[in-house]
Amino acid sequence: MGSAGLARLHGLFAVYKPPGLKWKHLRDTVELQLLKVRGPAFTSLKVGVGHRLDAQASGVLVLGVGRGRRLLTDMYDAHLTKDYTVRGLLGKATDDFCEDGRLVEKTTYDHVTREKLDRILAMIQGSHQKALVMYSNLDLKTQEAYEMAVRGLIRPMNKSPMLITGIRCLHFAPPEFLLEVQCMHETQKQLRKLVHEIGLELKTTSVCSQVRRIRDGFFTLDDALLRTQWDLHSIQDAIQSAALRVAAELEKNLRLGWGIHQHPSPGQPWDSAGPSSAWELESNMKH
């Protein structure tokens, strides 16, 4: 493969991680597929992993190839939200919040209704919305910051606990229920624990039977390559298909983050420049 073909391998793309597969094994599998192409330029071509999924979880996993690995840092810095579907089962508790964990307790759940669940979810979203404002360091007295809050665009620009920006019930058929959760700075274990805590709020118990990420920032299930598509040409096509969108979205979100804060973050001087590798890469790919 010539230099033009190699250049098409620098960027971001998404894969669908099945449950039971560790992210390290997935990354190594993709890397091996790329290294099957003979040539010295490919021996140092590395694959980076974005927001990780644990072994039990499934869904959208973003990977960066070559210079595209820098964009994974930009994705972290943009503090983009992710969407999950989270499936729960009422009536039992386990030691790890998972359906197949060691059983700790069994409870009745006949008193649980859709209305009661919806009220709990509304309380959760309200408390997390207050936390989001607190961690954003925004001065809500300014018109710009107020408009950002109304449009749901405020984000923390530093580390924070898991923040839920949206949560709703998609399906309720006791003992099963299905939630859609929009969040940031989460781990999949925290989402499973959330199901457990919802059960306690409902005066019963519950475990998590599935965590599936359906969106990571600007990558959705429609963008994610299935395992049969983890080959050189499919990956090249996916990177090229996403390249302009990736650059535009990262630039928009990073500039948004640097522009709306009224106070510099701890250790961050007023005149610091924001990350620029997203649009730098776009410029490089045009040549």
Q: What is the pLDDT of residue 60?
A: 99
Helix (H), strand (E) counts: the chain: 8, 10
143 pLDDT band (50/70/90 cuts)?
Answer: confident
For 92-106, the pLDDT digits (tens) are: 999 999 999 999 999
Q: What is the pLDDT of residue 270?
A: 25
Domain boundaries, the chain: 3-79+218-285, 82-216
- Asked if residue 259 has pLDDT above 60, the reply is no
Q: Which one of the listed residues 54, 74, 110, 231 is annotated catalytic?
A: 54
Does the annotation count 54 as an active-site position?
yes
Match 């969106």 to its residue by tokens: 215
CATH architecture label of 82-216 = 2-Layer Sandwich (3.30)
Q: Which of 244, 87, 66, 64 lies closest to 171 in space, CA to CA?
A: 87
Spatial distance between the Cα atoms of 15 and 3, rounded to a whole number of angstroms? 25
Q: What is the pLDDT of residue 266?
A: 32
